[in-house]
Amino acid sequence: MATPNNGDTVVIDYTVSRTDGAVVGDTKETGPQTITLGQNAIFPQIEETLTGMAVGDQETVTVSSDKAFGPRREELLIDIPRANLPPEPAPEPGMALQAQQQDGSAITLYVVEVGDQTVKADGNHPLAGEDLTFGVTLREIKQAA
């Protein structure tokens, strides 16, 4: 039974769920994902699980919020004056906005509320504060050269 090692490329299918069971991502529409182990492309807990799997194996891995996208940070909820936003497209809840932080790095903000004078935006990752469960199926192993 061959299992992948660090440096090998694997092809996986996965489903990601929150603790309430709601599916928040999967490979059903995008197709299998190709990952080279050891390149930090996925959470370390999943890489570790993959190294013990054979082609066709299915495993479930839970990644706690502190090891996934971190805790929700209330200081990342901000009010933006509507005058600071372009008139089109009109802001709507769920819309992503790109902004520049004080250190010059980019941040994605998600509109959560639209008022007459301000827009409330959230700089947290949409899955911040969530424990995530991954259902992973190993489809293929391509051994490193």
Domains by residue range for the chain, with CATH: 9-69+128-142 (3.10.50.40), 74-122 (2.40.10.330)
φ, ψ of residue 74 to 5 degrees: the values are -65, -30
pLDDT bracket for residue 2 (50, 70, 90): confident
Residue type, 54: A
CA distance 46 to 93: 32
Rounded to the nearest integer, the mean pLDDT of the chain is 93
Beta strands across the sheet bearing 96-100: 77-81, 118-122, 106-114, 96-100
Average pLDDT over residues 133-143: 96
- The number of helices, as runs of H, and strands, as runs of E, in the chain is 1, 9
pLDDT digits (tens, 9 = 90+) for 55-96: 999 999 999 999 999 999 999 999 999 999 888 889 999 999
